[in-house]
Structure 1
Amino acid sequence: MMKKYLIIVVVSTLFFGCSDYLELKPDQKMVIPETLEDCELLLNDYPTMNSGFPIMGEVSADNYYLTTTSWQSVSLIDERNGYLWSDEMVTTATPWQTSYKVIYQSNQVLDVLKGLKTTPTDLYHFNELKGAALFFRAFAFHQLLANYAMNYSVTNASSVPGVPLRLKPDVDDAVNRASLTDSYAQVIADFKAAARLLPANGPFKARPYKEAAYGGLARTYLDMGMYEQAYLYADSALNLRADLLDYNSLNANASLPIARFNKEVLFHAITPSSYALAQGNAKIDSNLYRAYEQNDLRKKVFFKANTGANLGTYAFKGSYNNSASGMFVGLTTAEMYLTRAESAARLGKIAAALTDLNHLMKNRWLVGLYTDFSTTNKDALITKILAERRKELLFRGLRWSDLKRLNLDERYKIQLKRIIDGKEYLLEPNSLKYALLIPQDAIEEGKLEQNKR
């Protein structure tokens, strides 16, 4: 007999396009999910499925800095501690819980679908729902790994803890942390199954389609340093959807120049707001800001000059969520171009890498003023692509993962530094602190192994 699980449907509107809303039942109603329509509602629950992914990796990364006054004004102690890579226990469980709520709800859908008999007319819808549930689960697991696990390395991944792999909609099941090997294997298996089931080029940015599943695989394999696979899946994603925004068409002077759900977005996902990353607090790293050339439109599209006591510093305004709160962590075609370019360069496909890099840059520079980058030197090309990756994908939840994987290479590893109240704080390459501390409530309730320090 199929298990029954109670859920509360409290969502009144869901965001699927720039101005499109899917109206759901306006009243709060107890529902037992048991039909395809119930599964549809669960997956369309935007506040749960798309908007609660972890933000602490970005808080800990190096795209910005806080003055002592701004740091002291951050009201969440975990963010103040995270900024300084402190070993103090994490008291707020929300980022962990909201990611596992995505996983729980995905598991609910999969459990309901497992008990349904399908007809030929239902099969397309059934497959789409199953594929979406698998995608959401993979995406959430990967977000957790990016924040709460060490970098993947084939030499030791089997002995390094990953995350608990909850694969059933039973919150009472005790699930220990799987190894990094098994955790990444689950993410890959879910994304691959999703890619086989999902249709391509659907209309709703908050729901995944085949190109998003390919994008998730490309991102995952890049994190793992598996460049042949990263190239393959970035290529597959771009073969289905390759649109880029021409930044010449944007109003660079607008407070938020980039439209939400724009044509580059393969899958829309965001984090909750952050006090540390708020425009009034986070100052863009000065070396990063100076790295943008004058004719690079990202310099005006992404940043605004601060005023008053903060004169001479800059704040970020280039959110792909078109909001000053809630960082975009979804998938875009621009990310896929950079992933395909980097992977191609590492595989020795110099011409292909240059084509992707220059195509992206032409859409970011003042029209007619970009000169194609050219080199036959593999290392010089990789260095250039990595520099553009950082400038293109800042505040996307990717920098922390990039730091972890690049720290494995002597050529690219860096030491991070913070200064607060005259005291210097350092984060060494490959430090155990790159696996953020799991919230203490989750450790105690789940009897989980905490990340080492």
Structure 2
Amino acid sequence: MKTLYFSIGMFTMMMLAACSNFLEEKPDIKMVIPKSLNDAELLLNDYSTMNAAYPAVGEWGTDEYYVTAETFDGMMTVDQRNAYIWKDEPYFDVTQWQGPYKTVFNANQALEIISKLGEEVKGEKGQQLSGIAHFFRAFAFQQLAEVFAPPYNAATASSELGIPLRLDPGIDASSERANLKQSYEQIIADYKIAASLLPPKEAIPGRPSAASAYAGLSRAYLYMAEYEKAYQYADSCLRLHAELIDFNNLNTGVELPIGRFNSEVLFAAIANNAGPMSLNNGLVDSNLYASYTANDLRKQLYFRNNDYPKDSYSFKGNYDQSLATLFVGLTTNEIYLIKAECAVRIGKVKEGLAALNALLKNRFDKNSFTAVTQTDAYILLSSILQERQKELLFRGRRWSDLKRLNPDPRFQKTIQRNIRGLTYSLAPDSRKYAFRLPEPAVLIGKIPQNLR
């Protein structure tokens, strides 16, 4: 097996040897150098790069799903199998790392173009494009940090490894990993700039808005356990864009019932490959499926009953209407849940109940919905966290949620897998929650691997 890894690694390194830095391939010297606002806009409008290349590898290790032994042996790559059972082996799926950094490269290139245009950038278009670029960089960094960096703890964030922060399009400078505190300071700074420059809403699918930036800030502060700020930014987001889909109006009989670019989408983004979590591979955890009551419309809209294995279900509630990708973007239903959770955590129980019920009344049969009235803070918080898992499954949120909740003894969880009689476990305090960097990034980029 070590020989196989070595061979794969050498092949990957040779393929990337022309790059002086692994984080981004060197552009073709024959390409026209971009220098206008229109050029910057074209870079930022590249949907396959800017919206569709985010990592899924963290989600492969979550408790939302399982795979059969046949799928594990026959349909999954070595890297996917290792991620699924948290096997601490070198991995070589460079796309999980390279995709977000290509987004960062395009954003940095657009910002460099804009910075050289003088008065032209002070107009509406220049300001908006700058906001879009800052948003994309923040979102890409955030996706990387949630997967490849350890859980955020304010007391240790200055000493924990974060991610490389590339802030210009230069490709010759060496990469260094910032600490975790610096990584999130950069994410937040970029989102705040984006929020100040972007319009309140955006009519073009795939482009962010001020509401999107507020949502990103809310997500970041939630992960950092800064609940007051997470609550405030969730509220700011919903003041601009609060639409929810009434699930009573959706067709439960179609294969993918939730529309793409629907009214809940604040920013559309997908992982580059769902892998074992695709509709035809991943099976929903049976306990999670059983937690939906009969009058919960998500039970019909989110799940497909499979003929094999018997009594198994697959997830069909994809917000990108896709069989083979994971939607990892920002949506209003997530923001309602952030607002609800953080409101309860900071003592605003009434506001938390209102946010939770606003969401749930659009998820249950309208003829049998009963509003939540629980006012005990701990019981209500537990209910909100359960609803968060039920609402946002297969959405790129569970790995991050496990990481941020595990330090709290009330909510920590040990995950187990069973494959052909063998049991694998992931402890709540495991260093494996900071996923391994791909070996080519470590060897060619000369950046440190995560601690084990």
TM superposition outliers: structure 1 runs of 4+ over 6 Å: none
- Pairing of 1:77-116 with structure 2 (within 5 A): 77-116=78-117
Distance 1:157 1:78 in 2: 29
Structure 1 residue 136: Cα displacement: 0.2
Alignment of 1:400-415 (within 5 A): 400-415=399-414
Contact preservation (8 Å) 1:194, 1:210: yes
Partner of 1:15: none
Cα distance in structure 2, aligned partners of 1:75 and 1:406: 29
CA displacement 1:55-86 (0-9 Å, x = unmatched): 00111111001121111123421101000001
How does 1:43-442 map onto structure 2 within 5 Å?
A: 43-119=44-120, 123-307=123-307, 309-442=308-441
Tell me how far apart the structure 1 counterparts of residues 346 and 83 of structure 2 sit (CA, whole Å).
Answer: 36
After superposition, the C-alpha distances for 1:65-108 in whole angstroms (9 at most, x for unaligned) are: 11211111234211010000011101111110011000011000
Q: Distance in 2 between matches of 1:268 and 1:275?
A: 19
Q: Which amino acid aligns with 1:32?
A: I
CA contact (8 A) 1:264 1:334 kept: yes
C-alpha contact (below 8 Å) 1:403/1:413 kept by paired residues: yes
- How many angstroms does 1:173 deviate by? 1.1
Give the Cα–Cα distance (whole angstroms) in 1 for the partners of residues 52 and 41 of structure 2: 17
Q: Name the aligned partner's letter for residue 190 of structure 1.
A: D
User: How many percent of aligned residue pairs carry the same amino acid?
Assistant: 47
Amino acid at match of 1:63: E
CA contact (8 A) 1:7 1:33 kept: no
Equivalent position amino acid for 2:184 in 1: Y
> Do the aligned residues in 2 keep the contact of 1:74 with 1:80 (CA within 8 Å)?
no
The whole-number CA distance in structure 2 between the counterparts of 1:274 and 1:404 is 20
Matched to 1:104, the amino acid is: F
1:119 is displaced (CA, Å) by 4.1
RMSD: 1.3
Residues 112 and 359 of structure 1, relative CA distance in 2, 3 Å threshold: same
1:306 and 1:315 in contact (8 A); partners too: yes
The Cα of 1:280 is off from its aligned counterpart by 2.2
**Cα 1:76–1:274 shift into 2, 3 Å:** farther
1:253, distance to aligned residue in structure 2 (A): 1.4
Deviations 1:18-68 (A, max 9, x none): xxxxxxxxxxx9332101000110000000000000000111111001121
Shift of 1:125: 0.5
Give me the TM-score of the superposition, normalised by structure 2: 0.93
* Amino acid corresponding to residue 160 of structure 1 in structure 2: E
Gaps of 5+ in 1: 9-28
- Whole-Å separation in 1 of the counterparts to 2:40 and 2:278: 35
Distance 2:125 2:52 in 1: 24
Give a deviation string over 1:165-194, Cα, whole Å, max 9, x none. 011101221121000000000000000011
What is the distance in 1 between the residues matched to 2:218 and 2:204? 21
The 8 Å contact of residues 278 and 325 in structure 2, kept in 1 or not, is answered as no
**1:294: how far off?**
0.4
Question: What is the deviation of 1:6?
Answer: 8.7
Q: One-letter code of the match for 1:215? A: A
Residue identity in the other structure for 2:170: D
Aligned-partner Cα distance in 2 for 1:212–1:98 = 21
Task: Give the SS at the match of 2:52.
Answer: coil
**Is the CA contact 1:6–1:32 (under 8 Å) kept in the aligned structure 2?**
no
Secondary structure at 1:425 match in 2: strand
Q: Secondary structure at the match of 1:163?
A: strand
1:242 is matched by which residue type in structure 2?
A: A
Aligned to 2:6: none
Separation in structure 1 between the aligned mates of residue 421 and residue 86 of structure 2, nearest angstrom: 16
SS of the residue 2:186 aligns to: helix
Query: Is the contact between residue 266 and residue 332 of structure 2 (CA under 8 Å) also seen in structure 1?
Result: yes
Measured after TM superposition, the shift of residue 278 of structure 1 is 2.0
Taking the aligned partners of 1:203 and 1:224, their CA distance within structure 2 comes to 31
The one-letter amino acid of 1:340's match is: K
> What is the CA–CA distance in structure 1 between the aligned matches of 2:420 and 2:202, rounded to whole Å?
51
SS in structure 2 of the partner of residue 31 of structure 1: coil
Give the counterpart letter for 2:246 in structure 1: D
Q: Which amino acid aligns with 1:403?
A: L
* Cα distance in 2, alignment partners of residues 226 and 411 from structure 1: 18
CA distance in 1, matches of 2:91, 2:27: 29
- CA distance 1:162–1:268, shift in 2 (3 Å): same
- Residue 34 of structure 2 corresponds to 33
8 A Cα contact 2:26 2:171, kept in partner: no
Tell me, in whole angstroms, the C-alpha distance in 1 between the residues paired with 2:337 and 2:76: 36
Shift of 1:368: 2.4
Letter of the aligned partner of 2:293 in structure 1? E
Q: Provide the rounded CA distance (Å) in 1 between the counterparts of 2:101 and 2:299.
A: 36
